Amino acid sequence: MGTTHLRSDLEVGNTASKVTVDKTKGVRLVNIDAWEDLRFPVAAVQQNPATSKPDNITFLGGTRALGFDNSASEWVTFSAQMPHAWKEGSDVEFHVHWTPTDDSAGSVRWVLEYTWANEGAVFPATATIGGTGVAASANRHTYTDTDELDGTGKTISSMIMCRLIRNVSHTDDDYAADAAMIEADFHYKVDSFGSDEEHNKS
């Protein structure tokens, strides 16, 4: 039998945007936006043990959610490690999935306090971003965007330490009932299946 010769690299697309396959770097997306979720369900967050923690409330049937009160700025904490498929240096979008607990009109102000550091780097002082969501009706799945996290200079396996707050003292927050958090998540861009090295991506 003859010898089979395989190509060591392949490109599909054009110079502006393409998919490349390399025997050492694997699959790469060049100027192609593909998105993925990094999720934080209510079971994965840590509740503040002090009086400002949200209550674990009944949602529908036997399901549960975290009820952020309208009279005090309650909060939870969580952390995230940026995946190896992430497009290094690109911005990360943060979202809150929640639902109103009654039919009252109003809005909810969500604030994310965070600090983000690469492996081996010192965590900087925290920064905050926020977004406001409108309460339409009870039990309606509501999706609220915030500002983006600036990913400049950040690399795979960098860590983001987070605190999510319902800021009832903000002028935008006037919904007079619990806001039930279902999940929070980061949307991030991917440009590969993973990294070609365990601790770095070229």
CATH code of the domain covering residue 162? 2.60.120.260
* 21 lies in the same domain as 45: no
22 and 40 share one domain: no
Do 72 and 168 lie in one domain? The reply is: yes
Q: What is the pLDDT of residues 115-149, one digit of tens each?
A: 999 999 999 999 999 999 999 999 999 999 999 99
Rounded mean pLDDT of the chain?
Answer: 86
Q: Tell me which of 172 and 24 has the higher pLDDT.
A: 172
Closest C-alpha among 90, 189, 200, 30 to residue 21: 30
Average pLDDT over residues 12-35: 63
pLDDT at res. 42: 72
- Exposure string (b/e) for 46-79, b if CB count within 10 Å is 16 or more? ebeeeebbbeeeebeeeeebbbbbbeebbbbeee
Question: What's the confidence (pLDDT) of residue 201?
Answer: 73
Q: Are residues 12 and 45 in the same domain?
A: no
**pTM listed for this prediction:** 0.82
**In which domain, by residue range, is 164 found?**
35-190
